[in-house]
Amino acid sequence: MKIIIIVLLCFVIMLSGCVANTDYTGTYVGQKETVTLFSDGTFSIQDEGQGFSGTYEIMDDKIYFKHPLMSMSFHINETGIYDGGKPGLIKQ
């Protein structure tokens, strides 16, 4: 039993080395909207006077926004959030 636990711990440690330490929290500004990503995995969006919030998850180079009424995904990198190769929201 101890061997299984040790092997599992080694596996987890190896996988943790593959995780990027990029911090995507902060405010992203577009033409009409502002998105704020918080470190607790929640987000806030202000779009032409309307606002809503929910949770987000980042996997590889994609961010997944989750809200009870909808979900969306976009590409994300150190400079901004974008869809289809063109920048949409620039990190401030």
**Tokens standing for residue 29:** 């500004």
The CATH architecture of the domain made up of 22-91 is Beta Barrel (2.40)
Residues paired with 26 in a beta bridge: 37
Q: pTM (2 decimals)?
A: 0.72
Give the mean pLDDT of 10-23: 55
Tens of pLDDT, residues 46-66: 988 889 899 999 998 899 999
Min mean pLDDT across 9-13, 55-59, 78-82, 84-88 is at 9-13
Query: What is the model's pLDDT at position 17?
Result: 47
Largest CA distance in the chain: 58
Element containing residue 85 per DSSP (H, E): none
- In this prediction, residue 35 carries a pLDDT of 94
Q: How far is CA 6 from the centre of its chain?
A: 32
Q: How far is it, in rounded angstroms, from Cα 79 to Cα 10? A: 34
- With beta carbons less than 8 A apart as the criterion, state whether 92 and 27 touch: yes
Which sequence spans correspond to the domains of the chain? 22-91
- For residue 8, what pLDDT band results from cuts at 50, 70 and 90? very low
Q: Are 92 and 30 in contact (CB under 8 A)?
A: no
